[in-house]
Amino acid sequence: MTILKVLHFPDERLRLKAAPVEEINSEIAEIAENMLETMYVEGGIGLAATQVNIQKRIIVIDISENKNESLTLINPKILKLEGEEESQEGCLSVPDYFDVVQRAKNIEFSYTTLKNEAVRKKIDGLLAICIQHEIDHLNGKLFIDYLSPLKRDRLMKKIHKQRIKKRRSKNSEQLDNESPNKIL
Ligand code: GNR
Ligand code: NI
């Protein structure tokens, strides 16, 4: 198994639209396994293939407390959206940022399992929110796209600052490594 690298906003690859999985084979099973491992290591409740730079319509989810009820959804599709619900969201591709997003409360959706079974379900609650969030990823959409222009602007400034800080600490690390132990 392999832990995959999660892309971070504003990486343009997060904007790519994933293609349907044509055939469920060992390659797809391996991608799903690696995605699950990556999701668990990163501490997320869901992960879309887009986030690990794989442009295929694959989602993994585990909202269980004990992290032992994983779901792999191939070619997930929303059939019906009903009601409204606001909840706080976060995203592994937008680290350290959380905000309230409005989504449908009840959804009906379909997907194919790794065993090639077609499933159709009606759900609500956290799972419904998570699935909407993950399908958005497959379409190149992020939860921060729903923010007001003011909030978005604040977020962009914060990310810009973080980038500068990160670059600075990397540079000084490099300097530390380069400097011989003159004092000793
Ligand atoms: O770990 C995650 N938590 C979360 C919380 C509220 C709504 C959606 C999510 S999904 C997120 C993991 C992630 O980024 N999946 O794409
Ligand atoms: Ni996300």
Rg (CA), the chain: 19
Element (H, E) at 151: helix 149-178
Residues with CB under 6 A from ligand 1: 44-48, 51, 89-93, 129-130, 133-134, 137
Cα distance between residue 107 and residue 127, in whole Å = 10
- Candidates 37, 134, 173, 178; catalytic one: 134
Which is nearest to 86 in space by CA: 43, 130, 129? 129
Residue 37 annotated among the catalytic residues of the structure: no
Q: How far is CA 149 from CA 84, 156, 157, 170, 172, in A?
A: 21, 10, 12, 31, 35
Return the ligand 1 atom nearest residue 43 CA: 1
Residue 62 — left, alpha, or beta (φ > 0 → left; ψ -120 to 50 → alpha)?
A: beta
Give distance in angstroms: CA of 94 to centre of ligand 1: 10
* pLDDT tens digits in sequence order for the chain, 184 residues long: 899 999 999 999 999 999 999 999 999 999 999 999 999 999 999 999 999 999 999 999 999 999 999 999 999 999 999 999 999 999 999 999 999 999 999 999 999 999 999 999 999 999 999 999 999 999 999 999 999 999 999 999 999 999 999 999 988 888 777 765 654 4
Return the ligand 1 atom nearest residue 133 CA: 8
Q: What is the pTM of this model?
A: 0.94
Is the bond leading into 10 cis (omega within 30 degrees of zero)? yes
Give distance in angstroms: CA of 49 to centre of ligand 1: 13
